[in-house]
Amino acid sequence: MKFYFIGMIGILFAVCFGQCVTRNNVSYNLPEAMLPHVKQEYLSRCEKGKILYDINCAGCHNTKVKGKIVIPDFTPEQLKGYELRITNARHSETLTDTTVTEEELGIIMTFLTYKKKSNK
């Protein structure tokens, strides 16, 4: 009975707070309440972010599981702003202000934030 209740809350949460939209084989979880034209804006920003991610981040972060490319599910705490450039040595070398601009980094963060989790 207890598990049934938790399950129902999970389903309700998924229905009310997330809506999955798929484009170019990547699925995104955008808030249900988002207006259609805003959704379009977020989707094109996410698509741009996917391209920038593939160029600047995928080489170090993507993994392959059974031949399928897996993009990591970073937590919201891990998706930082400027700090990402300096929190580890590999980033200090590669994510400089000249290799990835501030605007590009922001777009990549949007992509990683709304990308559907790989394990679901």
For ligand HEC, the closer CB: 46 or 84: 84
Task: Tell me the per-residue interface mask from 21 to 60 with ligand HEC, x by CB under 6 A, - otherwise.
Answer: -----------------------------------xx-xx
Q: Which stretch binds ligand HEC (CB under 6 A): 5-13, 15-23, 27-35, 86-94?
A: 86-94
Q: If you write DSSP's letter for every residue of the chain in order, what string do you get? A: -HHHHHHHHHHHHHHHH-EEEEETTEEEEE-TTS-HHHHHHHHHHHHHHHHHHHHHTHHHH-EEETTEEE-----TTT--SGGGGTSSHHHHHHS-TTTS-HHHHHHHHHHHHHBPPTT-
**Is residue 117 at the binding interface for ligand HEC, with CB under 6 A as the rule?**
no
Q: Which residues bind ligand HEC (CB under 6 A)?
A: 56-57, 59-61, 74, 78-79, 84, 87-88, 90-91, 94-95, 100, 108
